[in-house]
Amino acid sequence: MNKLYQKTKAWVEKTYFNANHLIRTAYWVNYLNPKPSEALLIAALTHDIERAFKEGSKPFFSKKRKWDDKASNQWHSERSAKFVKEFLEKEKANPCLINQTVRLISHHEEGGWGEADLLRDADSISFLEVNVPFFISRIPGELSKKEVEEKFNYMFARIGSKKAIEIAKPLYKKAMADLNKI
């Protein structure tokens, strides 16, 4: 792995409480495409980083919004892109790499072209692999069982590639089984 990737990983580990989800997203990007661009890998490694910055943030859970709400997802994606842009500029990264990374992070929830779709799919796999206990632990105080079920459904249903669906299927089934135990 190159130096910028390692520096970015160190920043994420130091900054974000759920760094493992980001590191596993980068792992799944590599798995789905063994020759990813540097921008795609760095986007995977940082795509949710805005949640680490509390000032000016929005609550992680909101009773009023749906998981697929376009405006909320766009706000979250663009806010993450802003922090990553600042970090990469400070590291004097190549401006072209910065632009590509920002564009990918800005579209990580919905995809839209090859690399962005791959990032979205890797994000979903990593979510189902890493974040399930965290979401279940929020029931009933912050989320209802139905809301968590909707989140799991959303994260699974948005996956586009056949290969990613095959990887995610057992993780999704286990997530639902764990949810139904409570």
Judged by beta carbon, residue 117 or residue 123, the one nearer Fe ion is 123
Residue 123 makes contact with Fe ion by CB under 5 A = yes
Among 48, 115, 117, 129, binds Fe ion (CB under 5 A): 48
Using CB under 5 A, which of the segments 11-19, 45-53, 84-92, 143-151 binds Fe ion? 45-53
Distance CA 38, CA 135 (A): 31
Alpha-carbon dihedral 110, 116, 118, 119, rounded to 10 degrees: -80
Residue 121 makes contact with Fe ion by CB under 5 A = no
How remote is the C-alpha of 75 from its chain's centroid?
14
In the complex, the smallest distance separating the C-beta of residue 41 from Fe ion, rounded to whole angstroms, is: 15
In the complex, the smallest distance separating the C-beta of residue 168 from Fe ion, rounded to whole angstroms, is: 14
Judged by beta carbon, residue 48 or residue 129, the one nearer Fe ion is 48
Task: Answer for the pair 119, 29: CB distance below 8 angstroms, yes or no.
Answer: yes
Judged by beta carbon, residue 16 or residue 98, the one nearer Fe ion is 16
Judged by beta carbon, residue 98 or residue 155, the one nearer Fe ion is 155
Q: In Å, how far are 7, 55, 87 from 90, measured between CA atoms?
A: 11, 20, 5
Distance CA 177, CA 182 (A): 9
Judged by beta carbon, residue 65 or residue 95, the one nearer Fe ion is 65
In the complex, the smallest distance separating the C-beta of residue 123 from Fe ion, rounded to whole angstroms, is: 4
Burial 66-93 (b: 16+ CB within 10 A, else e): ebeeeebbeebbebbbbbbbebbeeeeb
In the complex, the smallest distance separating the C-beta of residue 92 from Fe ion, rounded to whole angstroms, is: 27
Residue with tokens 């994420």: 12
Using CB under 5 A, which of the segments 26-34, 54-62, 119-127, 163-171 binds Fe ion? 119-127
Residue 129 makes contact with Fe ion by CB under 5 A = no
The residues binding Fe ion (CB under 5 A) are 48, 123
